[in-house]
């Protein structure tokens, strides 16, 4: 074995060792937090990696595994999780799991009207910061409390002192009693302190006394019900909320699986489905017109730029692809300024020429026109570039033959050039359709989906497309974040995009066969 | 298909193209002039400002109200690292698909195409929750961290890029590596010392395409970054115009010019490579 191979293997072992050490640290930290599924996933992944890098039979995987790891963790897992969320009511008010919600209710306390109260003294160790207490019940022994622990005081214990010799313990060896001014200075800290006393907890209720608080709720696992110990009301889980027989709900709610309800809501709930279908229709219209307009202009320019008798062709091409070189998030924001009704350049020109001001971003119709106009500017250079490429591949002889047969230039373009162009460009046009279907940047940065559709239960705007609608459902709703519904919409988008891509794939192969016969 | 034009025909043709050029260039020219216009508003904007000044550019880099230099640095950092790691991961993956014959190879390649059909941004809710939970025990990769954002971007590293690079690797003769291995190189050394230097053009194309794509991403960055200091340019730039657009117009214009500069430069320097990369299927607009 050469020294190179030894070195390479040493490096592998060293890297694996480091990775394993990190992995084991993360594994134990996951276990401590009770994230058992994540811990299991991590240990499986670690095992696989070790096997792959130590075994001889898995050589190709050594190259693939780094990329696959990211693919699994940040594409496949989120996709799977997304599908799961689509079938739940996850969102504002339903963030916690049922166990977490129960734990939160069980940690709530209330003060019963006839509760036991305790006079107290508070002490601090000389030089220390911790507070300890002596509590005086109405009957029974004095209680000593430190660090969340309460113990009865044995009168014979030498550590406890009876400083004024009245038979009641009132001092602790080595501790200094806090005088009233000091007590007041630390009031907020002291008020936050709580000591368990059997089923109850002790908390400060006034400067003079502590009181015993009682648990407000108790969860009964057998009946699957939450009992309000103050009023005696029994709350049962309904639709992700603990609900009383009278229909009163307790907050916070919890996440439950709701089956297909999110999908049904999109179709059947009139306040959701009405706006949703408008968004749905506009998404198709937007993608279709975007492709149509950009392709028409791009092809028109490419046809002229392809003319060998045209001077300055290269310079013209350089200037015409400027929009393509600027990141869309910048140019769309620029256009948003141009469309400003009061001070935007378009309305300034229109006003000085015709005396009209168009409500570009306030009116649903004009907002759509603005989006298409903006997208025409963004998209035509791409169409021009691909059309130029396709035009050069069309054989000249076909035109000469047609010309001899007496076809006009117009006829030659529509009967020969255009059909042949479509053969090579159709897949790219379908791809462009799919891209515009999800063109979030254009919509969100220009109009934010606005103006809003009146009466909509979800944040739906006249210019929202499905992807911006999803974004706003998840992160911008006035009624909170509806992650479940948003995920359902994203699955619908995936089905549509998947279908388009599939058609594209089939279409491309069909066209390849056509072009072989040309 | 073209005939020598008449004089009138030629003039009409140039006229049409010039109209198109005006359409293509006016927003850029307008922004350029607004960025030098000291009035900081849109009202009465002229093509050539009356008292041109570079005040907006100076303010952009000095006004503590918006951490613009930090946004640019964040964008360059996130895009640069994402592009670097994407190129690395893709090169490794593409090499395996190009050089080895193993079970599941064809399936793997098809699966990569299939996965690409589900754009990562559709899973934004799940990614948000994933980072939220990861951040609970490893704060360094949680929400509002650049590491977390970069890791998410790397999820999409394999895929179309792998196909592009695999095609290039396929054109490099295997005999080159074989002779290196006879001389005592390990397989991995043959890959790094022989193949990677030869594949430099495609590595550059993948790097740049990924850099531009990451630099331009608004959606994921806006979902996963929540603090102004952590924003990338795409997320931060929007702050200039929400609310008081009219008063910040000049600042925004200057920010646009500075922000677009890196991409425009890359684009024009590498126009030809990029266009050939595009005609192979990458889509914009």
Query: Could you read off the pLDDT of B196-229 as tens digits, one per residue?
Result: 988 888 888 889 889 988 999 999 999 999 888 8
CA distances from A509 to A145, A517, B166 (A): 80, 13, 21
What is the per-residue pLDDT for B44?
57
Q: Indicate the pLDDT class of residue A16, thresholds 50, 70 and 90.
A: confident
Give the residue-averaged pLDDT of A230-249.
82
B278 inside 8 A of chain A by CB: yes
What is the per-residue pLDDT for B78?
96
Residues of chain B below pLDDT 50: 244-246, 280-285
Are A338 and B100 in contact (CB < 8 Å)? Answer: no
Residue pair A154/A140 in contact (Cβ under 8 Å)? The answer is no
What is the per-residue pLDDT for A394?
81
Q: Does residue A451 have a cis bond before it (omega within 30 degrees)?
A: yes
Q: Considering the entire predicted model, what is its pTM? A: 0.82
Tell me chain B's radius of gyration from C-alpha atoms: 24
Measured CA angle at A455 (ends A452, A457), to 5 deg: 90
ipTM score of complex: 0.85
**Which of A55-59, A304-308, A488-492, B99-103 is predicted least confidently?**
A55-59
A349: part of which helix (H) or strand (E)? helix A345-354
Phi-psi region of A295 (alpha: psi -120 to 50; beta: other; left: phi over 0): alpha
Structure confidence by residue, pLDDT tens digits, A195-229: 887 777 888 888 778 888 888 888 888 878 888 87
* B 148-167: CB under 8 A from A: 151-152, 154-159, 162
Helix (H, G, I), strand (E, B) or coil at A195: strand
State chain B's mean pLDDT as an integer: 83
What is the per-residue pLDDT for B43?
58
What percent of chain A has pLDDT above 90? 12
Mutant choice from A6, A297, A327 vs B, greatest count of B C-beta within 10 A: A327
Minimum distance, in Å, between the CA of residue A308 and any CA atom of chain B? 7
Q: Which residue has the tokens 């053009």?
A: B201
A152: part of which helix (H) or strand (E)? strand A149-152
What percent of chain A has pLDDT above 70? 97
Are B129 and A85 in contact (CB < 8 Å)? Answer: yes
In the DSSP assignment, the letter for residue B237 is G
Q: Indicate the pLDDT class of residue A512, thresholds 50, 70 and 90.
A: low
What is the per-residue pLDDT for A294?
96
pLDDT at A64 exceeding the cut of 90: no
Task: Give the DSSP letter string of A48-72.
Answer: HHHHHHH-STTHHHHHHHHHHHHHI
Structure confidence by residue, pLDDT tens digits, A345-364: 888 888 888 888 888 888 99
CA distance A489 to A472: 11
Structure confidence by residue, pLDDT tens digits, A105-133: 888 888 877 777 888 888 887 777 778 88
Give the residue-averaged pLDDT of A75-91.
89
Give the Cβ contact number of residue B212 at 10 Å: 21
Mutant choice from B123, B177, B266 vs A, greatest count of A C-beta within 10 A: B123
Are B126 and A412 in contact (CB < 8 Å)? Answer: no
CA distance A92 to B125: 13
Residue pair B188/A8 in contact (Cβ under 8 Å)? The answer is yes
Give the residue-averaged pLDDT of A277-283.
91
What is the per-residue pLDDT for A443?
93
CA distances from A355 to A341, A352, A360, A514, A515 (A): 13, 6, 15, 54, 53
Pick A373 or A158 by higher pLDDT.
A373
Q: Indicate the pLDDT class of residue A379, thresholds 50, 70 and 90.
A: very high
CA distances from A367 to A194, A360, A504, B28, B45 (A): 59, 5, 30, 22, 23
A136: part of which helix (H) or strand (E)? strand A131-136
- What are the structure tokens assigned to A64, written together? 């693939």
Give the residue-averaged pLDDT of A294-310.
90
Q: Which residue of B16, B90, B121 is in closest CB contact with A67?
A: B90
Are A85 and B108 in contact (CB < 8 Å)? Answer: no
What is the per-residue pLDDT for A298?
94
Q: Indicate the pLDDT class of residue A427, thresholds 50, 70 and 90.
A: confident
What is the per-residue pLDDT for B18?
93
CA distances from A137 to A112, A115, A150, A479 (A): 17, 12, 13, 49
Helix (H, G, I), strand (E, B) or coil at A246: coil
Q: Indicate the pLDDT class of residue A442, thresholds 50, 70 and 90.
A: very high
């Amino acid at each position: 074995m050469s020294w190179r191979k030894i070195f390479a293997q040493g490096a592998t072992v060293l890297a694996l060792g480091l990775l394993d050490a990190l992995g084991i640290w993360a594994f134990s930290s996951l276990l401590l937090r009770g994230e058992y599924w994540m811990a299991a996933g991590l240990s499986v992944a670690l095992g696989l990696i070790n096997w792959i890098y130590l075994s001889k039979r898995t050589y190709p995987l050594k190259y693939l595994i780094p990329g696959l790891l990211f693919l699994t963790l940040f594409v496949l897992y989120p996709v799977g999780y997304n599908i799961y969320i689509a079938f739940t009511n996850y969102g504002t008010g339903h963030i916690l799991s049922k166990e977490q919600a129960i734990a939160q209710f069980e940690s709530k306390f209330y003060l019963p009207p006839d509760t036991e109260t305790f006079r107290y003294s508070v002490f601090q160790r000389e030089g220390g910061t911790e507070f300890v207490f002596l509590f005086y019940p109405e009957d029974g022994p004095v209680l000593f409390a430190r660090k969340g622990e309460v113990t009865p005081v044995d009168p014979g214990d030498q550590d406890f002192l009876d400083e004024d010799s009245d038979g009641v313990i009132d001092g602790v060896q080595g501790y200094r009693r806090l005088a009233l001014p000091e007590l007041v200075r630390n009031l907020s800290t002291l008020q936050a302190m709580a000591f368990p006393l059997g089923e109850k907890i002790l908390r400060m209720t006034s400067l003079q006394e502590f009181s015993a608080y009682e648990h407000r709720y108790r969860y009964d696992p057998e009946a699957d019900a939450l009992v309000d110990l103050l009023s005696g009301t029994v709350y049962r889980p309904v639709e992700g909320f603990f609900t009383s027989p009278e229909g009163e709900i307790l907050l916070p709610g919890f996440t439950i699986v709701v089956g297909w309800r999110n999908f049904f809501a999109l179709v059947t709930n009139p306040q959701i489905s009405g706006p949703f279908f408008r968004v749905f229709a506009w998404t198709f219209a937007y993608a279709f017109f975007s492709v149509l307009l950009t392709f028409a202009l791009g092809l028109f320019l490419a046809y002229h730029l392809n003319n060998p008798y045209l001077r300055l062709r290269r310079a013209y091409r350089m200037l015409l692809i400027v929009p393509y070189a600027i990141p869309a998030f910048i140019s769309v924001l620029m256009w948003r300024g141009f469309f400003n009704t009061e001070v935007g350049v378009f309305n300034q020109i229109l006003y000085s020429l015709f005396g009209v001001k168009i409500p570009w971003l306030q009116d649903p119709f004009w907002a759509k026109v603005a989006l298409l106009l903006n997208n025409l500017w963004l998209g035509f250079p791409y169409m021009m570039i691909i059309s130029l490429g396709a035009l050069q591949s069309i054989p000249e002889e076909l035109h000469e033959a047609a010309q001899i047969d007496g076809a006009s230039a117009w006829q030659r373009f529509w009967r020969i050039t255009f059909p042949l162009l479509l053969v090579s460009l159709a897949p790219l046009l379908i791809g462009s359709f799919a891209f515009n279907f999800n063109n979030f940047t254009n919509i969100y940065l220009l109009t934010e989906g606005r103006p809003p559709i009146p009466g909509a239960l979800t944040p739906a705007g006249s210019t929202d497309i499905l992807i911006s609608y999803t974004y706003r459902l998840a992160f911008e709703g006035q009624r909170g974040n509806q992650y479940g519904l948003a995920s359902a919409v994203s699955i619908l988008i995936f089905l549509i995009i998947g279908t388009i891509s599939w058609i594209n794939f089939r279409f491309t192969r069909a066209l390849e066969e056509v072009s072989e016969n040309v | 298909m073209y005939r020598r034009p008449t004089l009138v025909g030629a003039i009409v043709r140039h006229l049409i193209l010039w109209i198109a050029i005006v359409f293509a260039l006016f927003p850029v020219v307008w922004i350029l002039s607004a960025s030098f216009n000291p009035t900081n508003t849109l009202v009465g904007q002229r093509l050539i400002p009356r008292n041109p000044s570079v005040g907006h550019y100076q303010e952009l880099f000095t006004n503590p109200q918006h951490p613009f230099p930090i946004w640019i640095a964040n964008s360059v950092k996130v895009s640069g690292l994402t592009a670097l790691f994407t190129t690395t991961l893709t090169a490794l993956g593409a090499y395996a698909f190009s050089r080895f014959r193993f079970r599941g190879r064809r399936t793997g390649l098809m699966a990569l195409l299939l996965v690409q059909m589900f754009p990562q941004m559709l899973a934004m809710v799940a990614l948000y929750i994933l980072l939220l939970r990861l951040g609970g025990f490893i704060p360094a990769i949680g929400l509002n961290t650049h590491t977390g954002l970069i890791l998410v971007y790397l999820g999409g590293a394999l895929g179309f890029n792998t196909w592009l690079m695999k095609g290039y690797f396929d054109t490099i003769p295997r005999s080159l590596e074989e002779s290196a291995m006879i001389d005592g190189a390990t397989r991995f050394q043959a890959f790094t010392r022989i193949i990677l230097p030869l594949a430099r053009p495609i590595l550059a194309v993948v790097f740049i395409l990924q850099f531009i794509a990451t630099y331009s991403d608004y959606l994921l960055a806006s979902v996963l970054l929540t603090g102004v200091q952590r924003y990338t340019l795409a997320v931060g730039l929007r702050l200039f115009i929400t609310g008081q657009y009219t008063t910040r117009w000049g600042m925004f214009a200057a920010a646009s010019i500075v922000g677009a500069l890196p991409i425009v430069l890359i684009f024009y320097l590498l126009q030809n490579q990029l266009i050939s990369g595009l005609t192979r299927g990458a889509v914009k607009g």
